[in-house]
Structure 1
Amino acid sequence: MNVIGGFFEEENLNDNKNGFPFLEDQTYSNGRSALYEILQICQPTKIFLPAYTCDAVLEPILKLQIPYSFVEINNQMEFVALPDLKSSEVLLGINYFGLKGTYLKEISTQLGTNLIIDNSQAFYSSNWNTWAFNSLRKYFGVPDGSILYTPDGSTPKRTHSYNLPKIEHLKLRKNGAIDLGYKLYKESEKEQAISDKKMSNYSSEVLQHLNLKSIRQRRIENFNYLVNALSKWNQLDLSINIKHDVPLCYPFWPKNPIPHAKFWNHGIYVPVFWKECLKRGAKYKFESVLSAELIPLPVDHRYDEEEMNRMIEFISIQ
């Protein structure tokens, strides 16, 4: 039985380029590097960000020694209340699971360029005329890559070299060597660091030869299939706006918690978003519970109804 989820394998590429619109100068090796660049340009005196986030987001903030404060979110994955920003302060808004594009568009009309959008989980989403960045390896079988979007669409000229990431884990997964591939994948993830290098030529070439329209449609179809089957058991009610949203996953928060390990033992490799939230403090109880109990079910372009049904059947007997 084939496993579901986990790190990506090497992509099957089309013969023809799709002409995905990005410039080399707006690419970075990863999302934290793009965020670091944004913060260097904006030079905020303080940044507010959701408590429900990974430590990678904090790396550029800490490196630049920018004061920060966490903000609570609710079960709609939206801020409980927007902070009262000074003109020199910024808010980081996360496009959770690729499903909060409409919400962030609304916030952008209020905050303008005082908003930075983290589209790491939302490759297909807009930047709504403010600062934004994404993370390609969350959506595709590439080892690196992030695209930085500026409020006015300009792209500063950069003379930096290209990133040279490891790609062995992608090839091993494609050839069925999942265990060894996973070991190398973890090593690759540990090597992710803030860098001024551009996205690798490898990732750029892959992105140019993917059928992004087909990938988008498959994700939406798989997501809707799981919505129809699992929403009755899900404590999160996150709808999808096809105009703005392309899901990273189906965020399943079961009314009766199911340990992640049960899924892993059944060959369904779901991630944990994010263990570090457990140490944010007692104030952020919702974030801690979600970190422990949320099951991000895969809906990506590797799968169709067969894999969706396997996950549904497994969940139905828990």
Structure 2
Amino acid sequence: MKKEIGGYFELEEMAGEEYYPNLYKVNLGRTALLWLLETRQYKKIYLPVFLCRSVIDICVEHDIEVEFYHLDADLNILLEERKLPAEECLYLVSYYGQLTDEKILYCQKVYGNVIVDHTHAFFQKPLKGVDTLYSCRKFWGVSDGAYVSSDVVLSGEKQEDRSGGRMSHILGRYEENAGKYYQAMLDNAAGYEGMEIRKMSRLTGNLLKAIDYEKGKKQREENYALLSELLPSETVFNRVIPEGPFAYPYYHENGMELRRWLAGHKIFVPTYWKNMFEQCSEDSLEYQWAANILPLPCDQRYGEEEMRYMAARIREWEASAE
């Protein structure tokens, strides 16, 4: 018998169930993509220009040929419509949950081989026969974890990850402020570079069983609805109201300045796709989206009081800037 008996107590085994108990469980979204690429034996991938650096790097590092495509102002793909050969695939990103099932199925019909990135759409169920990726740490208090939905058996036996050493910033923020553990969060994220494909850690899987998913989903939807009332924002990222929204995309033409001002009031709004500032011209759609679309937090940690406070601070700054 290898199991220890006695001694001090460890974390209890949670009695609930993960939201996607039957999907492949992987350590990270980027390694989940790599596992799919290796299994499908894809040699080339079509990626949107509007994409975080980590996805691009994982492809380049593993000798996957990359070709980029742009999106128009309505998020339509600017790529020749043709059936892709067996060794090529199209990567689709659901920005702020805007990629509908109908659009996914249309792209699959046209291009054939597609991989859907639902990093911003955790609650949007995968479609049968469509390779789909989910990230856990974008929605929940875990340090890692991803899911893959695929009708192909992912190749090769993978080692199980270990997450105990990555929890300090999450546990620390539970009891203290985020600033104290901000560097630990950055160090943790930096540690993902070059990480190998592994199965989701037992710790992360256990924590995911403790979450009340329906409550979280409902709270996100209520917060999103209130922000849309208090801060109307008619952009391409607000046309579809997703289930359990990732964030509320609020547009302001001086988005970077507004972010800095909000941070001074302890409202921390991230800047996603920072690589657009180096890759794209200032007048490009991708640059403007990264700079001026503010993903306002509307997740399950907050309620009406926080949404009204955040909206009031934004209106205060806008009034002073006029």
Q: TM-score range by the shorter chain?
A: 0.7 to 0.9
State yes or no: 1:139 paired with 2:139. Answer: yes
Which stretch of the first structure deviates more once superposed, 107-116 or 14-23? 14-23
**Structure 2: distance between partners of 1:182 and 1:19:** 28
Query: Does the CA contact (< 8 Å) of 1:234 and 1:254 recur in 2?
Result: no
User: TM-score, with normalisation over the residues of structure 2?
Assistant: 0.84
How far is the alpha carbon of 1:218 from its aligned partner?
0.9
Q: Equivalences for 1:1-318 in 2 at 5 Å? A: 16-18=15-17, 20-23=19-22, 26-81=24-79, 83-87=81-85, 88-102=87-101, 104-111=103-110, 114-128=113-127, 129-150=129-150, 152=151, 154=153, 158-164=157-163, 165-193=165-193, 194-231=195-232, 233-236=233-236, 238-241=238-241, 245-255=243-253, 257=255, 259=257, 260-282=259-281, 285-317=284-316, 318=318
Which stretch of the first structure deviates more once superposed, 185-194 or 41-50? 41-50
**Structure 2: distance between partners of 1:137 and 1:305:** 23
**What is the identity percentage for the equivalent residue pairs of Structure 1 and Structure 2?**
22
How far is the alpha carbon of 1:29 from its aligned partner?
1.1
Task: Rate the CA distance shift 1:266–1:83 in 2: closer, same or farther, 3 A.
Answer: farther
Q: Residue 5 of structure 2 aligns with which residue? A: none
User: TM-score, with normalisation over the residues of structure 1?
Assistant: 0.85
Residue identity in the other structure for 1:271 = P
**1:197-253, Cα deviation, whole Å (9 max, x unpaired):** 21111211111111101111111111111112222x5444523355xx331101111
Which stretch of the first structure deviates more once superposed, 182-191 or 121-130? 121-130
Task: Rate the CA distance shift 1:296–1:216 in 2: closer, same or farther, 3 A.
Answer: same
**Structure 2: distance between partners of 1:106 and 1:121:** 18
Equivalenced residue count is: 301
**Structure 1: distance between partners of 2:100 and 2:248:** 15
Query: Does the CA contact (< 8 Å) of 2:162 and 2:203 recur in 1?
Result: no
Structure 2 alignment gaps of length 5 or more: 1-11
Q: Any idea what SS the aligned residue of 1:252 has?
A: strand
**Structure 2: distance between partners of 1:300 and 1:30:** 21
**1:172-201, Cα deviation, whole Å (9 max, x unpaired):** 101114222111111101001332221111
**1:125-184, Cα deviation, whole Å (9 max, x unpaired):** 23322111111000000001011111x275667352233341010111011142221111
**1:99-144, Cα deviation, whole Å (9 max, x unpaired):** 3233543434424751101112221123322111111000000001
How far is the alpha carbon of 1:78 from its aligned partner?
3.6
Structure 1 alignment gaps of length 5 or more: 1-12
**Structure 2: distance between partners of 1:121 and 1:202:** 23
**Structure 1: distance between partners of 2:173 and 2:157:** 34
Q: Residue 5 of structure 1 aligns with which residue? A: none
Query: Does the CA contact (< 8 Å) of 2:25 and 2:146 recur in 1?
Result: yes
Q: Residue 9 of structure 2 aligns with which residue? A: none
How far is the alpha carbon of 1:293 from its aligned partner?
1.6
How far is the alpha carbon of 1:313 from its aligned partner?
0.7
Task: Rate the CA distance shift 1:111–1:34 in 2: closer, same or farther, 3 A.
Answer: farther
Query: Does the CA contact (< 8 Å) of 1:235 and 1:255 recur in 2?
Result: no
Query: Does the CA contact (< 8 Å) of 1:252 and 1:294 recur in 2?
Result: yes
Task: Rate the CA distance shift 1:177–1:225 in 2: closer, same or farther, 3 A.
Answer: closer
